[in-house]
Chains A and B, each alone.
Chain A
Amino acid sequence: MTEYLPPILAEYGDDLLDGFLVTIQLVGMSVAFGAIIGMGVAAARMSPRWWLKAFAWFYIGLFRGTPLLAQLFLIYYGLGQFSGLWRTLGLWNFLRDPFNCALLAFSLNTAAYQAEIFRGAILAVPEGQWEGARALGVGRRVAFMRVILPQAALLALRPFGNEIVLMIKGSAVASVVTVYDLLGETRLAYSDTFRFDVYFYAAALYLVLVETLRRLWDIFERRLTRHLDRERKEAVVDPAGQPVMS
């Protein structure tokens, strides 16, 4: 098999694939953790309690207003300065590992962006939807879950996808803390061989990843907008034998 590959892939292909998996793992996990934290932060940001609001405002400002690289550096090398303290607190086993530190930095960073995406989407659902639900005697909680959230999800879908794509590319900074993701491995291979084409293969892998994500998002969007889809609806025949009006 390897003899059919370009020589640089025969030699460094495994390393690039390892890096590719690290990228997927790092981005997948940090986006998931980021979504959980982000929902909390978005809720805090919209809370009537001033101190929750202030905290969320500060958090979002801090993580969106400073470079991811600086956050990663501070979390890895900065917290590393106090290793004695973390040892006594029992946190050193977690912070000692570079992957954990990268995961922590990326999760906290993407949570700030996601919080704003979620908040924006929820606020963008027209006020009338709340009023309509109330007029029908639906409680706030149910109204949020069944009326507001499905509409907000549709609004948040594309920005959320964008955020993941940005994280995929932003995660390339992980190699400064010795976590060699796809781009990190590429740079290593390049500095061993001085052959530019290795960047081409890395770019191809990134494209595959982003394109896969884009197609997945198309599917999600079709699913979330199925109530708006004219053609599909007309195909559905109602029990009385008449096409359903849309």
Chain B
Amino acid sequence: MNRMIIVAALALATVLPAAAQDKMQLRIGTEGAYPPFNYFDSAGNLVGFDIDIAKALCDEMNAECTFVTQDWDGIIPALLANKFDAIIASMSMTPARDEIVDFTDKYYNTPPAIAVPKDSSLADASPESMADIILGAQSSTTHANYAEKFFPDTELRRYGTPEEYKLDLQSGRIDAAIDDSTVLSTWVNSEDGACCKILEVLKNDPIIHGPGAGIAVREEDTELKEKFNTAIAAIRANGVYKQINDKHFDIDVYGD
């Protein structure tokens, strides 16, 4: 019964002309487990580069945004199931994902890297040196796909979140981990990641990584996509992007 009332109220709300020309309501989906891009700080607040960018874009679009966190491997299905309206979660715009959802222009692009324990005997990240070791990656990511393609002789372990491969890298269950270079360097420079170092920063593979990280929307939401694109261009131009970039990183993550 209650649900009926809510449904009726919602239907009415959409039929009535937006009386006071309310702000556009947007639900942003993110993972919340990918520091430094999107994660929960010790006080339980959702923070990170993606979150700040999302807030800046919402301000720019004059939209009121709420955040929804969702496990990574179900994040695209959740978008398609209308659990939220856009994904701002450091999602690489891969050709495979592009078939299912629509992407905005990129909002950053950083290369992948390999992290190893400080006492690792690995000399470099060539497929030959990496053969016969155990490599950890987050499952359903471009990094796992990259490892499958470029390190075919390496045993790949797939983890649900970066937190878990970090634990296993510390304990020595895996010999190396692959992820975004900013994610790994932030970690190894923190107290948490004192065990480990960056072995090598790799090159982006255009087929696997696509043109960088973008915002995913449902294919029919072209208007929303255009709004995001205009907003990205605007915060790039007015210096807000640089502010956010400098708050989180000492390099320029936008790429060229």
Rounded to whole angstroms, the CA-CA distance of A129 and B173 in the bound complex is: 54
Residue in A96, A176, A180, A188 whose beta carbon sits within 8 Å of that of B173 in the complex: A96
Residue in A81, A96, A191 whose beta carbon sits within 8 Å of that of B73 in the complex: A191
Q: B residues within 8 A CB of A83? A: 171-173
A194 at the binding interface (Cβ < 8 Å) = yes
Q: A80-B167, A83-B171 are in contact. Are A188 and B100 (CB under 8 A)?
A: no
| Of B104-112, B153-161, B211-219, the one touching chain A | B153-161
Rounded to whole angstroms, the CA-CA distance of A180 and B158 in the bound complex is: 9
A187 and B172 within 8 A (CB)? no
A80 and B80 within 8 A (CB)? no
A58 at the binding interface (Cβ < 8 Å) = no
Interface of chain A residues 162 through 192 with chain B (CB within 8 A)? 175-176, 178, 180, 187-188, 190-192
Rounded to whole angstroms, the CA-CA distance of A92 and B100 in the bound complex is: 44
A81 and B171 within 8 A (CB)? yes
A50 at the binding interface (Cβ < 8 Å) = no
Task: Enumerate chain A interface residues (CB-CB to B < 8 A).
Answer: 77, 80-81, 83, 92, 96, 98, 175-176, 178, 180, 187-188, 190-192, 194
Residue in B76, B158, B167, B172 whose beta carbon sits within 8 Å of that of A194 in the complex: B76
Residue in B140, B157, B164, B167 whose beta carbon sits within 8 Å of that of A191 in the complex: B140
Residue of A nearest to B72 (CB): A191
The interface centre, meaning the residue of B96, B158, B168, B171 with most chain A CB atoms within 10 A of its CB, is B171
Residue in A81, A190, A194 whose beta carbon sits within 8 Å of that of B80 in the complex: A194
Q: A residues within 8 A CB of B96? A: 192
B158 and A178 within 8 A (CB)? yes
Rounded to whole angstroms, the CA-CA distance of A83 and B174 in the bound complex is: 12
Rounded to whole angstroms, the CA-CA distance of A92 and B73 in the bound complex is: 31
B158 and A192 within 8 A (CB)? no
